[in-house]
Chains A and B, each alone.
Chain A
Amino acid sequence: MSGKHINLTLKVWRQKGAKDQGSFVEYQAKNVSEHASFLEMLDAVNEEIVAKGEEPIAFDHDCREGICGTCGFVIDGEAHGKLKATTVCQLHMRNYNDGETLTIEPFRANSFPVIKDLMVDRSAFDRIISSGGYISQNTGNPQDANAILVPKADADEAMSSATCIGCGACVAACKNASAALFTSAKISHMALLPQGAVEKNERALRMVAAMDSEGFGACTTTGACEAACPKEIQLTNISRMNRQFLGAVLTQRPKHKDGGAG
């Protein structure tokens, strides 16, 4: 296969586990095809490492199509690397030059403990979702889908928020390691739809509380999250979350304990 080939020096963060000290280790990536993705370049480096009998660099990845949200680390200080709106699995080597040195390290945030090398534990996101990132609707016999009319603009806006892949780049890019972009995307997605609007107050209260209790930092609206987001989730989601949360706090009513008629 023709096409350009380049050589790179990689400074990769190696850390055995959450409790171990990590450090940067240097590797050479030789004869890398410009058509290869960043992860395929790492695969090739790993093959050489394994051939030497050493442990390969651990990194999270799965679909390699930019949609599952599994992959993600920091390249030269930028979450998911230098291309806008791109996950590392979709970042191709034609974007780098021969002879470059790249520094590769995991997403850093207290709420994302390092598991190994470039892998971090993002299960805090799942706990935020289980605190209220859903619509309470049992399986079975909902009304006909077209009985719920949703203005196209709202549906499109909800979809734009729902596009979040939960990769955590927003947290890694934020100086406070805030999870506001992620949480607000889910809150917006649900609240913009009539199906989800019913429990929007409760949802905002619970999800914001869960976000805080996971130890994520406060949002100061600097916008680093939006800039790093591979799916271009917008800051407007955070405004929507804040407005909803405030509204919910101010109008919070005690939950009725009355049971149904017996």
Chain B
Amino acid sequence: MANILDSKIPSGAIEDKWEKAKFENKLVNPANKRKHSVIVVGTGLAGASAAASLGELGYKVKAFCVHESPRRAHSVAAQGGINAAKNYQNDGDSTYRLFYDTVKGGDFRAREANVYRLAEVSANIIDQMVSQGVPFAREYGGTLANRSFGGAQVSRTFYARGQTGQQLLLGAYSQMMRQVDAGTVELRYRREMLDLVVIDGKARGIIVRNLLTGEIEAHEADAVIIASGGYSNVFFLSTNAMNCAVTAAWKAHKRGAYFANPCYTQIHPTCIPVHGENQSKLTLMSESLRNDGRVWVPKAVGDKRHPNDIPENERDYYLERVYPSFGNLAPRDVASRQAKYACDEGRGVNESGKAVYLDFADSIKRLGEDKISERYGNLFEMYEKITGDNPYKRPMMIYPAPHYTMGGLWVDYNLQSTIPGCFVAGEANFSDHGANRLGASALMQGLADGYFVVPYSIGNYLGGTKLNKVTTNDDAFKAAVDGVKKEISTLVNIKGNRTVDSFHKELGNIMWENCGMGRNAAGLKKALEEIPKVREEFWQNVRIPGDPNYLNVELEKAGRVADFLELGELMCRDALEREESCGGHFREEHQDNGEAKRDDTNFCHVAAWEYTGDMKTSVRHKEELTFENVHLATRSYK
């Protein structure tokens, strides 16, 4: 049997691969497109743009979201911006440079061909979003403004105040709503995907729960696109919205889709620090703040003076000191780790000692308060609302937090998972970010996948695949519906003593302590012993009040936590097996003076896990990565 992890990368020079793939793709003639139905799960940037494009092309699309409205998907929360190789600033940017920076930023753990395509379509994304009315920031002459972002030395980030994600999502959402109006896209709100239906080895539908009525529905289609986002809520405290979950992707995994690099979590360096035991989530402060903010801690251990009373020569601007060429714009993993080191040395600030300063005093002196307020005003207001501190007068306090997850369902170049007909787009797949996503590239990937990749690869799949007719009366659908109902009834009948959140917090704590910013074998092994115990107790002692056949928030959360309890274990296993440090995956045993030490000889591959019915026996497969264009080199931001 051929290797199931066939990446299907087109042959030829990297610049020609995507053109070649598009030309060689099978086509579906316009009159036949309406005979094909496609399900899209999730309506964030990737899902909404995919649904809009496929609807436009003429396919019958059914889009599903857990939210009350697709406009609320978590893409809305991205603040800083979206990268594109437009070279509008004439500072030397190009497709190749964006490609190069992204491969390097991913610490050589992303697939070259995918990353090149991402860089290639990036310019088109900006054109597309502008044409559909995204009000990007402009210069006085009317041209688009750019700013710089962490991990890059050119200014290629397009932004809409501090609400870039919101504006891009509203753009993609409005395009999808246009298709709803045109009748090509049917939207189903407040539906959670709880299983994937596979018939004759191909994805043919999904099972969802109507979150308002509790009804279990079956939906069939010729292909399924999963665009359900990331899973950093496994840590309980993260920058993800409360409803972000792994459930849709995890259910597909359990039906045969391999899960790749689950241990790659990006820790974002600039979040508002944890304040107390009741905290429900962490709030990100845009990385763009690092353009004008300087990061520092007191030089002396235990210096508890007011920051404004600490003189210059008693401050350690550690990012500028350790990484003179990138300074405060060092990549996220690097900046996060340095913050942790400073705090581990006892030089952290805040009552908890787990925070560092992000100081705008110099920029305010240089540019004036007005300019700073024009650039970051809304972020400063948000900070003040949350902390009660005025960042114009006193430096912000920040600390790293789990943010974006680079792991996800394994996909080939066409974004197809190991289940034919099941495609995965955006954060839910693993493909483009390697071990460390750089700033402003998640929005880019979501839109690239949804607007410019999936519409082609779906056509290729439908045009070249013989699909038998299926209906939701088929046995596979009935069995899946029964399975979902059984799981729900098991959950509500446990009637134990502990709340869902208490389990989620316990899991999150284990994950953060042992599989967070720094990981080591002892900690990971400990977590692998603890998580199954928590999972066991969960299934014996969770309490879900209320009626399952009605809106039941505790039941929704319980299902998600049940999946996180399985995913968490896989993340730890993946982290334990990857005996190297790369980007966001930092194994403490593998370092050179605090810098990640990769092992290209043994780990220049994607780890893709196959579910075999039991977490302990999941099988690790490898997709070897080759770097023909950007040669393997140690990252240095010094």
Binding site for B on A (CB under 8 A): 1-3, 17, 33-37, 39-41, 43-44, 47, 50-51, 53-56, 58, 60-70, 83, 85-86, 90-92, 94, 115-116, 119, 121-123, 125-126, 129-146, 148-152, 155-156, 158-159, 162-163, 165-166, 189-190, 193, 195-196
- With A35-B275, A92-B388, A151-B138 as known contacts, state yes or no: A137 contacts B242, CB within 8 Å: no
**Nearest-neighbor residue (CB-CB) of A39 within chain B:** B280
Give per-residue flags for B537-575: 1 if the beta carbon is below 8 A from chain A beta carbons, else 0.
000000101100011011000000000000000000000
A53 close to B543 (CB less than 8 A): yes
**B381 to chain A: which residues have CB within 8 Å?**
85
Give per-residue flags for B271-286: 1 if the beta carbon is below 8 A from chain A beta carbons, else 0.
0000111111101100
Q: How many residues of B contact A (CB 8 A)?
A: 83
A17 close to B550 (CB less than 8 A): yes
Within the assembled complex, what's the spacing in Å between the Cα atoms of A67 and B75?
10
Give per-residue flags for B66-77: 1 if the beta carbon is below 8 A from chain A beta carbons, else 0.
011111101011
B135 close to A66 (CB less than 8 A): no
**A165 to chain B: which residues have CB within 8 Å?**
166
Binding site for A on B (CB under 8 A): 49, 52-53, 56, 67-72, 74, 76-77, 86, 88, 124, 126-133, 135-144, 160-161, 163, 165-167, 170, 173-175, 177-178, 180-181, 187, 189, 212, 241-243, 275-281, 283-284, 351-352, 381-382, 385-386, 388, 451-452, 455, 499, 501-502, 543, 545-546, 550-551, 553-554
B177 close to A130 (CB less than 8 A): yes
Within the assembled complex, what's the spacing in Å between the Cα atoms of A149 and B386?
37
| Most chain B CB inside 10 Å of its own CB: which residue of A55, A61, A156 | A55
**A166 to chain B: which residues have CB within 8 Å?**
69, 71
Instruction: Report A102 CB to chain B, min CB distance, Å.
Output: 17
With contacts defined as CB atoms under 8 Å apart, how many contacts are there between chain A and chain B in the complex?
Answer: 226
Q: Which of A44, A121, A139, A159 contacts B175 (CB 8 A)?
A: A139
Within the assembled complex, what's the spacing in Å between the Cα atoms of A51 and B128?
50
**Nearest-neighbor residue (CB-CB) of A138 within chain B:** B56
B276 close to A190 (CB less than 8 A): no
B88 close to A134 (CB less than 8 A): no
Q: Which of B77, B141, B452, B455 contacts A149 (CB 8 A)?
A: B141
**B160 to chain A: which residues have CB within 8 Å?**
159, 162
**B243 to chain A: which residues have CB within 8 Å?**
62
Q: Which of A34, A40, A116, A136 contacts B551 (CB 8 A)?
A: A116
- With A58-B553, A67-B76, A133-B177 as known contacts, state yes or no: A193 contacts B135, CB within 8 Å: yes
Within the assembled complex, what's the spacing in Å between the Cα atoms of A138 and B55?
10
Within the assembled complex, what's the spacing in Å between the Cα atoms of A233 and B173?
20
A130 close to B178 (CB less than 8 A): yes
Q: Which of B72, B452, B545 contacts A68 (CB 8 A)?
A: B72
A65 close to B280 (CB less than 8 A): no
**B167 to chain A: which residues have CB within 8 Å?**
159, 162
**B277 to chain A: which residues have CB within 8 Å?**
1
Within the assembled complex, what's the spacing in Å between the Cα atoms of A149 and B88?
14
Instruction: Report A199 CB to chain B, min CB distance, Å.
Output: 11
Within the assembled complex, what's the spacing in Å between the Cα atoms of A138 and B277?
48
Instruction: Report B548 CB to chain A, min CB distance, Å.
Output: 12
Given A67-B77, A134-B174, A155-B137, 18 more contacts at CB 8 Å? Answer: A35-B276, A37-B386, A53-B543, A62-B242, A63-B242, A92-B385, A94-B388, A134-B132, A139-B53, A139-B452, A142-B131, A145-B136, A148-B131, A149-B141, A150-B142, A159-B137, A159-B160, A195-B132
A62 close to B135 (CB less than 8 A): no
